[in-house]
Structure 1
């Protein structure tokens, strides 16, 4: 507004004070008008009168705080803030109002302190986290801005102190991946009536479909075909779900990637870990089914199961990270992930015994690492046999090579992932 307009407004508020002396607006708005005119003395007199007439009015103290900030008197600011907090007001609303006044007055430090107090009162309040991220960015505290941005986007971080996290960035990163995966599971289960029961119901439904199709219609069954099929189906579902979840994860996480310095590998690892956690109850179901049908694994077979789970997690991470790293640069491949997984399932011996194959096709299928992984599960759980060490070594070498390729892409082209997502 022009100065003449502010002067006209001041005259109007003076008239309103004569007619409506018992209403706070003419006093407070009049004070703000004089502050806009640079007349801090008159504004201070009006606010002093307002504090005596309307001591329980929130806006009285907020206007006084703003006046003290513009007058450059931090002692008076502290006194007015303390006076406001001592009164029976909603503390959270008061903190928000003081923070906004401080931001308007350019007192970023005080605004940060208010938002920090609000964050301590309500740790999950997204508004406080977003404003803290914004203010720390203005102050040049990039690490703090990134931390609050992550909190706003992904919920509570692990309780690792900041210094410890800086000394152990990999541990802090993996804790963040775990927390996000758990939050995703909680969110996913809350949207369905059966909640986490789907992790058991879904493989049973797949078992019924495949057992009916291959065991009865196509006569591909064998003795104990149900447990044979489930032993191959569970590792395959784990792998397929993890690859599907990780394939487009970097593109889906563009907002966070653009606003923070988090590694692009964070997004596929969250999807892989989420799929992995969902499969653990299904493997417990498999052991109960083997026990109920008389296929009791030997002690050595049960001891080998954790090793096989760790081996599959390593291999799944290797494939998922590589697929997720390539897709931002070749998006057409995202449309082939589903088809590729279907083909891979039939080359992995999920629904048939690969030992029944012969000839050149058997030699080609043998190159598939998943075939060896599923065979290892069946050796440990159904045949109570010693594990095929060459198969284990082949899986380890393949996973190591794929992880090296993924590491190269993520480190060499890290800065390009965010730009590729915007194209």
Structure 2
């Protein structure tokens, strides 16, 4: 099979690495890719916002499957344009991608289909949003309605923070994404990420993970796109997974199909597990980043087989096999992230940091080459990922690998996986 992978981040490097291992693969292209992805695929300089150019490339190169990594092209209708051209694509239509593209849509959808989530209000002006926030009180959560690269959510512990976050949205801090705002109840509990592969009718459970969104250790500071993750997430026991499937995922699949927008691709279920069970925080319509990295490290099955089954409506016949090992990834970010990351600094030692035993891997997220010099080119720059018999062992291996990379201008959290490590320590 000839496959075209859309994207250029750490998630796409992990997907490229896993797709490249498939016996089904003939040729893998990536648009636009990055230096790490170029080790697995031929990178092509396509503008992923230029759907016509992507369709033309897919036709000219006899692409059998397009895999769309990031959310923005999906919300913009790339899957629709490819499907209209007769090109098979792994990823939801624009209408189905509203589950991520509009938080207000998703909240209304949850209300319609009785899916457990936080109480909310949605507003198109600041005075009404502020009045609602005042009536509810803090802590409270303020969300820009549209895509904001993981940065449009404020968990406000004071009313003043909430009012400031509402002002930021309507004053253009997140562009068009903040033209409408969702203000919702603060949920108590433990966050977790749950994934399903979907074929429009069937949803196949595809692993669990726990992300670390805040930039600082101890879960402090502003939200980011994610500073690290581990898998599996202990909070998502087999019984809890079945509750999530019954109370959240299956009603969502049924609802989307009833609305004429069946969901095909990856459904990422962001959860809060509290005393009343699971509640939906948000949906994403693609693999998480950095959750994808730990899932790909643990996946035993051929990813390309699973993606083809999703596109062909055949997931009802399949199951997924996982390594018993835990996996943990640490994000190395550029100083100044998430507000104003410093770009252009040189990174040394990435190739030498990973041995040949397969227990560690460095995925490139925001890098570029200047000759043979590897430079930082984004906020989140590298994802140092390791396997272990326990999360504690995976954590130790990941940080040992981090310490072999010479990049003074980078930083990372040193407590990724802390909840699972504490659980393992308590068990002795």
Per the normalisation by structure 1, the TM-score is 0.20
Higher helix proportion (structure 1 or 2): 1
Higher strand share: 2
Give the structure, 1 or 2, with the largest relative contact order (CA under 8 Å, sep 6 or more). Answer: 2
Q: TM-score, normalised by structure 2?
A: 0.20
Q: Which has the larger radius of gyration?
A: 1
